[in-house]
Structure 1
Amino acid sequence: MRALAAAAIGLAAAFALVLAVTAIGPPDGTTSPEPLLTSAPAHP
């Protein structure tokens, strides 16, 4: 019974965290116009 209570508390805490992050929303800002490197540069 203790394990069930612990699981319920953990699930409620995780759900509350998801709701809090969703309510806050994404941070303000812009993305970089520079493309990311997708491969290592050639060895000289």
Structure 2
Amino acid sequence: MRALIAAATGLALALALVLTVSALGSPSGRTSPEPLLTTVPAHP
């Protein structure tokens, strides 16, 4: 019975966390104006 209560408590906490994060919304991210400096490997 204790395991069932612990599982229900964990599920409730996880659901509360998901609802909190979704209520806050996603952060306004910006992309870097500078391109990534990568090199293309030479083809054999």
Task: Give the structure-2-normalised TM-score.
Answer: 0.69
- Structure 1's unaligned 5+ residue stretches are none
Which of these two proteins has the greater Rg computed from alpha carbons? 2
Aligned residues: 40
- Structure 2's unaligned 5+ residue stretches are none
Task: Report the identity percentage.
Answer: 60
Give the Cα–Cα distance (whole angstroms) in 1 for the partners of residues 18 and 30 of structure 2.
Answer: 24
Number of the residue aligned with 2:4: 4
Q: Which runs of 4+ in 1 moved over 3 A?
A: none
